[in-house]
Structure 1
Amino acid sequence: MKRHILTLLSLIVICASCKKDKATLDITSDAKYILKSVESNSPVDLNYDGTSNRNLMEEIPVLRDLGIFLTLDKEKTENHYINILWVEPRVDDEVLFSHLPEIYSPDLSIEYLPVDNQYYFDIEESTKSLKIGSRIVAIQSNHTLEQPQSLEVNSRNQTIVFRGRQKFLTISGISTISFTAIYQKDTSYIAP
């Protein structure tokens, strides 16, 4: 009898641990994620106030208003798309996506503007990520934001983590900055 109870308890423990491994991404409908934090790997001064900061929301306040939109095609999974709203620099009121100057000058006017970055994506259950595919509109431009390869999804706390790289003009010249952006799902969002 004791042997049967021990066997039964062992099976319960094994089954309970199996359930933890079967967490899914739970991306079943269109969704909006709001940017909650953006940290660079090292301090940087992008607003030219003389103070370097790892918190890019302090350096570029417009980041506080940005997000990610997921749109799922129920019939064709290859038509899922993501819109990552992100900033691109505009220098001296030039056309957006113009080349960054090689050297910083205090006479330059640099404004960060929100830009749509729309890509197709696949849901990767095995890695709990969104695998980013090609741009929806292939354009020849000078994006300073590198195209992401994938975004990590945590369904339990309803977040998306975007690890990216972007070129910025700093006081010492053009630098490629690595960053980690964390987005929280907007549970009040109703898709159009």
Structure 2
Amino acid sequence: MEKYLEEAPKSWKYRLVLAAVPKDGAPYEDSFSVHIDRPVSYWDQIYTFLSDPQVRVDAYRSEGRVLVTVSLRTEVSVPCARCLEPARTEVGGELRYIFSLRRDEQQREKAEESKDGEEEIIILDSWEDEIDLGQLIWEVLITALPGAVLCSPDCLGLCPQCGANLNLGPCGCKKESRDPRFDVLRNFVEDSGK
């Protein structure tokens, strides 16, 4: 078993049966939770889930299409972007998908491809009677994960010289009045003044 999840778990066997979505345009709603049994690795960041993600699926029919909205809420722990201590944050996201069983949809979509703001239409085969929600839930989850989380807004981070966590107290390193990152510019100015 892999140490981290990098794709939707195979155990996510959630389906939207198309026959359950009313043909009169009335909304279909479903809520459930998905289980994540290990941390998720995404963009070199490790996200540990503190609760099972709560998923909500809303669907309705319109103009021969099925519009599906998948939303998700959960809480994760991730290393603080400044001090690397665990930081908790709530995560939530939502994506909308458009599905069609109409064969002429592909030609219509190609004709409208040049329009800005058009959403991609996922063409289902005529024999398909359900939509696999596992990959859709994974997409919502991944797009909702934050890039940088702080343990607190006033986190002091790590000492750039010794690496000590400055939130726990001063580290004892000699504080320089100048920033060593600007030494190259300082040398350039001194050399150009000669």
Bigger relative CO (Cα 8 Å, ≥ 6 apart)? 1
Which TM-score tier does this pair reach, normalised by the shorter chain? 0.3 to 0.5
Q: TM-score, normalised by structure 2?
A: 0.34
TM-score scaled by structure 1?
0.34
User: Larger C-alpha radius of gyration, 1 or 2?
Assistant: 2
